[in-house]
Copies of this chain bind each other. A is one copy, B any other.
Amino acid sequence: MKALKRSKSLTERTVETLRNAIINEDFMLGEPLSETLLAESLGISKSPVREALAQLKAEGLVTIIPQKGTFVFTLTPKEQKELSQMRFVLETAALDLAYEINRDKLIKALKDNLTAMQSQLAKDDLDKYLVFDGSFHIVLFDLCDNSYLRDAYNQVSGKHSALRLRSARRPKHIEKTYADHEAFVVCIEKDDLAGAKEILKAHFSRFDDYFRENIDKFAVSNASSTRKARSQQNRRLKL
């Protein structure tokens, strides 16, 4: 006798829809979002949309300015640096814990993920590759057995995912990151955690450097982040 899974609430589904839309470049960074328009577009009332936006605000994916508007997030160079610093802190901690709790399981999971990445790379399927890139890092948090750590990661990973998809479409960059992942696993197998952490650090800063130079291309310019740009917001979103 298993409990039926309660169907997801409208709010939940809206959160997922919008989060995906932000991550998958359906919106530009800094683009204004309107409760009313989104509600119409999704065919639901303002309430769940509003609640969804509040939740996304907690995830840092949107910024809400009272009585002014809601906007897709953007990052200043400083915030960008802080974000990568934070990821380093969390992944390092998760690595330590996961390694301590179950070294072998960790290595196996990472290796499995690595081969999955490789096969997508061979097929030139960049999008799927990036999915596995994401799950590679999540492995650490799944195995560290600490829900708070995991939650904290989820909180920053949204922003990171959004940035990654926008900036990672370059073969050379991909090659390097794949090598990073590989070297990372090798270090862990040699029980060289310090080395693994060094790789992580370099991995993040490499990403930073590139993105910092190119963020303008993905963000709506300050001047046009006003109302008039909002009309085109009638992209079709589906729940």
Chain B residues with Cβ under 8 A from A66's Cβ? 6, 9
Residues of B within 8 A of A152 (CB): 86, 152, 155
A contact residues, range: 20 to 34
Question: Which 9 residue pairs spanning A and B have beta carbons closest together?
Answer: A86-B148, A89-B93, A58-B58, A82-B146, A152-B152, A82-B148, A85-B146, A82-B147, A86-B149
In whole angstroms, what is the CA distance A83 to B146 when docked?
8
Q: How far is the CB of A61 from chain B (nearest CB, A)?
A: 13
Smallest CB-CB separation from A147: which chain B residue?
B82
A183 shortest CB reach to chain B, Å: 23
Residue A213 CB within 8 A of the other chain: no
- Does any Cβ of B come within 8 Å of A138's Cβ? no
A residues at B contact (CB < 8 Å): 6, 9, 51, 54-55, 58, 66, 79, 82-83, 85-86, 89-90, 93, 97, 145-149, 152, 155-156
User: CA A89 – CA B93 in complex, angstroms?
Assistant: 7
Interface of chain A, main secondary structure: helix
Cα distance A50–B159 when bound, in Å? Answer: 26
5 contacting pairs across A/B (C-beta < 8 A): A58-B58, A82-B146, A83-B148, A85-B146, A89-B90
Q: In this complex, what residue of B is CB-closest to A155?
A: B152
In the complex, the chain B residue whose C-beta lies closest to that of A12 is B66
Min C-beta distance of A62 to chain B, whole Å: 14
Q: Nearest chain-B residue to A88 (Cβ)?
A: B93
Q: How far is the CA of A145 from the CA of B82 in the complex (A)?
A: 8
Cα–Cα, bound, A89→B82 (Å)? 16
Residue in B9, B58, B83, B149 whose CB lies within 8 Å of A89: B149
With both beta carbons as reference points, the residue of chain B lying nearest to A145 in the complex is identified as B82
A51 to B58, CA, bound (A): 12
